[in-house]
Amino acid sequence: MKINLNTTNNNQIEKINKFFKSYFGIRIVKTAIAATLAMIIARFFDLRLPLMAGFSALITMKSSIFDSYKASYNRLLSTIVGAVIASTFQYFGFTSYLAMFLGIIAIINICNFFNWKDSTTLATMIFISVLLYNPDRSAVNYMTYWQYGLNRLLDTSVGLGIGFLVNYVIFPPNRSEFILKTYEKALLECEEALKAVLSGNKVNLEDIVSDIDKLNTELESIREDSKFGHKYDIKTYQLSKMNYHFYSVFGIIAQFSKDGRIPILSESN
């Protein structure tokens, strides 16, 4: 009985690669680097709350450069709102649980109004931190609540900035492979759907619609990433053209599936 050593070795290598991709993927490692680096820098500059810098870096890691930038920018704006509201409440001596209740509601509504997605958690954390701050005037490192709020903004800004830079510099996201696989999958689904329609069968178009939506989202991400100097192997005009063809095919399939006026294919016709 002969054992194919090449096949065995390839299987082992594939298992090892799968293991490392599952537990040590690029995005996982980059997230860990960003949080750790943010904490180190925060401690180096003797920031009061380095934990906030590390947490801010964690939530900045996204699948595209533009999304990472947008997340950082939106979260920075939302934390400014949280710090300003809390400092204003402190100024008027309104620091009760009712103040916390009303402040959180206000922050959530402001974030929703400006469409600052996923920014409410960090903003409310800053708000509560500043609202509950009780300065000790006898302390050597005494700070007013305004100074404390500015320091929390500084902690957060360091984390957001480090998170964005790590995502931009270290193995920046490349969506080319994902796009090509999605196009391949959508093409097969269109082919199967067209065969089903021409054979008189019902077609579920939800999967095709989902794929087209993903492709449009990725196309927009590539366009936005190019503003930051990030280059992809795929040209955006080529993707736009392919998307147009997919929409055309999808429209034909949807129309055929709806009115049922297509003759059923058989060996005779």
Structure tokens given for 235: 């040209």
Residues 189 and 150 grouped into a single domain: no
Determine the average pLDDT of the residues in 112-124. 90
Q: DSSP string of 148-197?
A: HHHHHHHHHHHHHHHHHHHHHHSS----HHHHHHHHHHHHHHHHHHHHHH
- Which structure tokens are listed for 196? 């089903």
DSSP 65-133: HHHHHHHHHHHHHHHHHHHHHHHHHHHTT--SHHHHHHHHHHHHHHHHHTT-TT-HHHHHHHHHHHHT-
Top mean-pLDDT range of 14-18, 115-119, 122-126, 181-185: 122-126
Same domain, 190 and 158: no
Q: 67 or 22: which carries more pLDDT confidence?
A: 67
How far is the C-alpha of 110 from the C-alpha of 129, rounded, in Å? 19
Task: Decide if 67 contacts 225 (C-beta within 8 A).
Answer: no
pLDDT at residue 82 greater than cutoff 90:
yes
Range of the domain at 114: 27-169
Query: Whole-structure pTM over 0.85, yes or no?
Result: no
> Given pLDDT bands bounded at 50, 70 and 90, which one contains residue 88?
very high
pLDDT score for 8: 60
Q: What is the mean pLDDT of residues 158-169?
A: 92
Least confident range of 117-121, 219-223, 252-256 = 252-256
> Which residue from 252, 248, 264 is spatially nearest to 198, judged by alpha carbons?
264
Question: What are the tokens at 114?
Answer: 């400006």
| Same domain? 181 vs 77 | no
In single-letter form, the type of residue at position 245 comes to H
Q: Is the pLDDT of residue 180 over 90?
A: no
Whether 49 and 118 share a structural domain = yes
- Listed residues 124, 154, 169: the one ending a domain: 169
Q: Report how far residue 88's alpha carbon sits from residue 263's, in angstroms, rounded to the nearest whole number.
A: 72
Residue 3 lies in a domain: no
- Is 77 found in the same domain as 53? yes
Taking only Cα atoms into account, the Rg of the chain, rounded to an integer number of angstroms, comes to 26
Q: 241: pLDDT confidence band, cut at 50, 70 and 90? A: low
Give the pLDDT of residue 263.
Answer: 47
Angle of helix 236-259 relative to helix 176-198, nearest 10 degrees? 20
Across the chain, what does the average pLDDT equal?
79
How many domains does the chain divide into? 2
